[in-house]
Amino acid sequence: MLCKSLHHAAFRCRDARETVDFYTNVLGLKFIHAMGEDHVPSTGKYSPHIHIFFEMEDGSCIAFFELPKDAGSLSGRDPETPDWVQHFAFRVADEATLLKAKADMEAKGISVLGPTNHDDFLLSIYFFDPSGHRLELSVHTASQAQDREFRAEAMDVLNLWDQTHDWSQRAKLFGGTTGYQRKT
């Protein structure tokens, strides 16, 4: 494969210091790098910024830019896209870790939604960082057999979607008519 792993995904933040405090103290990520420029290295455009990086256990990172002189939205989202769509999901070790993280965040006054079961594939909780970015903590809940089944049926699911753009038609593949019910 050309792409070996995720190096980083980058978002805009309101305040770099506030972002460092949140990602290190709430999520326990390592703050590993900060760099700044007055001009964008790739384009030469004047845009004073600081670029900060947080590392996860596997070496991948999430990064942020504070751009005090640039107008625009923190989210970078199309205003017509629902707020729940664009988010960053972090994997945690297990369900106990997920539930402890939820309790710890709620004790710090952070509003947390979930846990939510996604197709017996992920169990997730959702919350927002100080800049309003939607974040997800998730634990992979599928068995190896389920993972094989999900991989085997992925193209069939996509083909059904292409034909119908109506998930209520999933009974054609899985049987049943509601929720994430599968035929297995």
**What's the CATH fold of domain 85-141?**
2,3-Dihydroxybiphenyl 1,2-Dioxygenase; domain 1 (3.10.180)
Q: What are phi and psi of 110, to 5 degrees?
A: -90, 130
Q: Is the pLDDT of residue 1 over 60?
A: yes
Q: Where are the domains of the chain?
A: 1-69, 85-141, 144-174
Give 112-169 pLDDT, tens digit per residue.
Answer: 999 999 888 889 999 999 998 999 999 999 999 999 998 988 888 888 888 888 877 7
Cα–Cα distance, 105 to 80 (Å, whole number): 30
d(CA 90, CA 87): 10
Same fold flag, 1-69 and 85-141: yes
Portion of the chain with pLDDT greater than 90, in percent: 57
pLDDT at 63: 95
Which CATH number applies to 1-69? 3.10.180.10
Q: How confident is the model at residue 75 (pLDDT cuts 50, 70, 90)?
A: low
- Report the alpha-carbon distance of residue 85 to residue 166 in Å, rounded: 18
Looking at the whole model, is its pTM more than 0.85? no
Q: What number is the average pLDDT over the span 29-47?
A: 91
Least confident of 7-11, 119-123, 134-138, 179-183: 179-183
